[in-house]
Amino acid sequence: MTMYCNVRELDDVTVLDLTGRLSLGEAVAFGSGSGLILGETIRDLTKNGRRKILLNLAGVTYVDSSGIGQLMGALTSAHKHGVELKLLRPNEQLLNLMKLTKVDTLFDISEEETAALASFTRGAAAAG
């Protein structure tokens, strides 16, 4: 099953609303015939100048250890390109898997979109 993604721009934050399975080799579909893994999607966004990315995981129905690997790959790619990457609304299974692997300590995770969006602003204000 392909992971689907809706891209929204809220001010200077790009929100990726992910739906489906986060697993080994799952492509992220942006329309018919397209398919990139999550890390490639982040790289493409950074090439287009996006520096603040929020992954909305509320629609993710299944995650396994390779899905955690995809999140880590996305985070690595984001950091390499000077991009802030944050997570929104991971389900209980994903959150438990992230805690088990201690990956939760590497991400800024929010349950509310308004709080997540505000955290980008706070980070920019603190840096300036």
Domain ranges of the chain: 3-117
Task: Report domain 3-117's class.
Answer: alpha beta
What is the pLDDT at residue 66? 81
Please state, for a pLDDT cut of 70, what percent of the chain lies above it. Answer: 82
What is the pLDDT at residue 64? 84
What is the pLDDT at residue 116? 96
Provide CB contacts within 8 A for 81, sequence distance 6+: 42, 43, 46
* Residue 128: pLDDT over 50: no
Weakest mean pLDDT among 2-6, 11-15, 74-78, 85-89: 2-6
The tokens of 106 are what? Answer: 């590497």
pTM here?
A: 0.85
Q: What is the mean pLDDT of residues 49-66?
A: 91
Helix (H/G/I), strand (E/B), else coil: 107: coil
Laid out side by side, the sheet with 13-22 consists of 28-29, 3-10, 13-22, 52-63, 84-88, 108-110
41, 48, 55, 66 from 14: Cα distances, Å: 12, 11, 9, 24
What is the rounded CA–CA span in Å between residue 62 and residue 100? 16
